[in-house]
Amino acid sequence: MKLLKTLAASLLATAALTSASLACEVTLKSSDTHPDGYPTVEAVKQMGKLLEERTDGRICVEVFHSAQLGEEKDTIEQTKFGVIDLNRVSMGPFNNLVEETKVVSLPYIFKGVDHMHTVMDGPIGDEILAAFEPHGYVGLAFYDGGSRSFYNKVKPIKSIEDLEGMKVRVMQSDIFVDMMSALGANATPMPYGEVYSSIQTGVIDGAENNWPSYESSGHFEVAGYYTLDEHLIVPEVLVMSKKSWDNLSPEDQAAVRQAAKDSVPFMREQWQAREKASEEKVRAAGVEVVTEIDKEPFMAAMDSVYEKHVTSENLKDLVARIRATD
Ligand code: GTR
């Protein structure tokens, strides 16, 4: 009887799903590495809701969360080929593809999250969104990624000296590898999904991320020392495959762009709430948090990273303009 009920329920669910997707002429497949309920996942769902309403149900978005479609570097490639239509990723893994994304991935480039918002909401942000296009992507909107700090399972990091020789996972971008070397640590670039087990087995000592990722990934369970050095404020980006984009009429393209933009305030609200909730959760779990940290030596150590990566006139100009933005 129980089995029959389960069967009937799942048949009903399938029927509902089929009729819903029948109404959609186009279903845009969207990727996210984070679990359901995470602010980025909810923001893209919100975008889909707006888009569906505004196109009388013709265009829908289906979000594949929890890295169901793969790790960010791979999904970025698949998005280029149109296998994935929409992708919400950090700008870090885009660094080696779209030069302009390097600027916002530089350590301590932003004075804080408010400064990041001002820059990304203004002409510099528009310029960076436009820079995706020649590479096969359409930049739609920026989302929050908070600030990233170090965590590890060995000891509390209270100064740069404590990082000496530590094996720290970074996102797959040369900037972050050089950032770690400048701090005296050994950088290990690897996909996000491998970090938990790599800390557990000792392949790495720790990693770096914002409160919500540190919490939702469960990394706090295996790396219980978190230091608020806030070395990176890397915005996240929602891109669309240029191939999928070109299949839409100009009106529908405008609707996609607008729905993405309109999901940003929703995302920011979600983000702020989740940052607090995640911090509370990991503190309650007994994580040792170092809040009093002199950031000056960390900032000073970054000169070599800027020298190595900010080489073209384009990047030099962007860095100067970001610094000149209040
Ligand atoms: C998170 C970010 C993800 C991913 C992850 C990572 O903060 O939201 O897109 O880049 O960090 O460290 O790989």
pLDDT one-digit tens code per residue, 257-273:
999 999 999 999 999 99
Any atom of ligand 1 within 6 Å of the Cβ of 236: yes
Any atom of ligand 1 within 6 Å of the Cβ of 147: no
Helix (H, G, I), strand (E, B) or coil at 139: strand
Residues 6+ apart with CB under 8 A from 111: none
Q: Which atom belonging to ligand 1 lies closest to the Cα atom of 146?
A: 7
Which of 88, 236, 270, 274 to mutate to test ligand 1, by most ligand atoms within 8 A of the CB atom? 236
Residues 6+ apart with CB under 8 A from 71: 33, 191, 192, 193
Q: Has residue 26 got a pLDDT over 60?
A: yes
pLDDT of residue 9: 54
Helix (H, G, I), strand (E, B) or coil at 63: strand
Question: Distance between CA atoms of 306 and 309, rounded to whole angstroms?
Answer: 5
**Which parts of 183-312 fold into alpha helices (H)?**
195-200, 211-216, 219-222, 242-246, 250-284, 296-300, 303-309
Report pLDDT digits (tens) over 179-223.
Answer: 999 999 999 999 999 999 999 999 999 999 999 999 999 999 999
Question: Distance between CA atoms of 156 and 71, rounded to whole angstroms?
Answer: 29
Any atom of ligand 1 within 6 Å of the Cβ of 90: yes
| pTM listed for this prediction | 0.93
Report pLDDT digits (tens) over 293-302.
Answer: 999 999 999 9
pLDDT of residue 150: 98
Mean pLDDT of 84-108: 98
